[in-house]
């Protein structure tokens, strides 16, 4: 029977899974498949799994339940093994790497930080103040100058400046938070975000990180929307 695979942990992880159901519209209880020093947390599936909101939540909740009791390697959403033997083989063939990763991540969790410009107006205002050329162009357009090239020239100038300033802010935020981490990973931000940062933080530093997050958010003001998530399973640091 096919299995949905959630995560890998050491065999001696408590795996308190009683009464917890897995993914799918008719979910089966969670159980473990053990091979040597490792075990995988799985649930049987009888149908094709679709990336529904509920199943994404279940995947995440199982990781959070497990990580409360000890270090785990969370799988990416959506991996299916054909049967128990396939899981055992996967655990055995890569046991050394998995044990190494479990050791490296022990006592740590992932904290994820994003930032976006909540209110653009003050930033644009500051840019116009700092760049007389931009301010002049803006005044000409507002004064009724119909030259169609003016908005493009102004917009390009301002867009470039917005990018420069947001990158500086992202670099500063990164530098401020990274000292609390053992490892970190900055990804290209998506949509309107200008920061997408994952930190691997040991439990002994999490309070200091929280203090720093609160202080940064307060000091950075209302124009920037800083979003912190965590503690999370160490998705970004398992490979």
| Chain residues 46-65 in contact with other proteins, contact rule CB under 8 A | 48-53, 56-57, 59-61, 64
With contact defined as beta carbons under 8 Å apart, do 185 and 197 qualify? yes
DSSP state of 188: -
Least separation in angstroms between residue 113's CB and other proteins is 9
Sign (positive or negative) of CA dihedral 152, 156, 158, 162 = positive
Tell whether residue 228 is a contact of other proteins (CB under 8 A). yes
213 scored as a contact of other proteins (CB under 8 A): yes
Distance CA 139, CA 127 (A): 14
Number of residues this chain uses to bind other proteins (CB under 8 A): 119
Please state the closest distance from residue 96 (CB atom) to other proteins, in A: 15
User: Which among 95, 108, 109, 97 is positioned nearest to 38, based on CA atoms?
Assistant: 95
| CB 127 to other proteins: min, Å | 8
Do residues 2 and 82 make contact, with C-beta atoms less than 8 angstroms apart? yes
Which residue in 12, 26, 96, 219 binds other proteins (CB under 8 A)? Answer: 219
Does residue 79 interact with other proteins by CB under 8 A? Answer: yes
For other proteins, the binding residues in 87-126 under the rule CB under 8 A are 89-90, 94, 110-112, 114, 117-118, 120-126
Q: Is 70 in the site for other proteins (CB under 8 A)?
A: no
Classify residue 105 as exposed, middle or buried by CB count within 10 Å of its CB (0-12, 13-18, 19+).
Answer: buried
The b-or-e profile of 62-93 (16+ CB within 10 A means b, else e) is: bbebbbeeebbbbbebeeebeebeebbebbee
Q: One symbol per residue from 20 to 39: x for binding other proteins (CB under 8 A), - otherwise; what is it?
A: --------------------
- Give Dmax (Cα) for the chain: 77
Binds other proteins (CB under 8 A): choice among 83, 92, 103, 187: 187
* 16: contact with other proteins by CB under 8 A: no
180 lies in the site for other proteins, by CB under 8 A: yes
Contact pattern from residue 141 through residue 170 relative to other proteins, giving x for each residue in contact according to CB under 8 A and a dash for the rest: xx-------xxx-xxx-xx--xx-xxxxxx
Dihedrals phi, psi of 56, to nearest 5 degrees: -60, -40
């Amino acid at each position: 029977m096919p299995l949905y695979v959630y995560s890998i942990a050491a065999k001696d992880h408590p795996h308190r899974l009683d009464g917890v159901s897995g993914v799918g519209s008719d979910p089966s209880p969670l159980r473990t498949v053990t091979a040597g020093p490792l075990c995988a947390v799985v649930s049987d599936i009888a149908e094709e799994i679709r990336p529904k909101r509920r199943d994404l939540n279940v995947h995440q909740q199982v990781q959070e339940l497990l990580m409360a009791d000890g270090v785990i390697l969370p799988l990416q959403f959506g991996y299916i093994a054909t049967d128990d033997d396939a899981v055992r083989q996967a655990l055995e063939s890569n046991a050394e790497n998995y044990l190494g990763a479990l050791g490296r991540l022990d006592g740590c969790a992932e904290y994820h930080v994003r930032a976006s410009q909540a209110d653009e107006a003050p930033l644009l205002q500051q840019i116009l103040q700092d760049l007389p050329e931009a301010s002049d162009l803006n005044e000409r357009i507002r004064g009724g100058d119909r030259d169609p090239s003016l908005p493009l020239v102004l917009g390009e100038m301002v867009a470039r400046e917005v990018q420069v300033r947001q990158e500086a802010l992202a670099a500063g935020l990164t530098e401020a938070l990274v000292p609390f981490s053992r490892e970190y990973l900055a990804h290209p931000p998506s949509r309107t975000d200008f920061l997408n940062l994952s930190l691997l933080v040991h439990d002994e530093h999490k309070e200091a990180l929280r203090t720093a997050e609160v202080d940064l958010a307060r000091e950075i003001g209302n124009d920037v929307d800083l979003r912190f998530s965590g503690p999370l399973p160490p998705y970004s640091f398992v490979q």
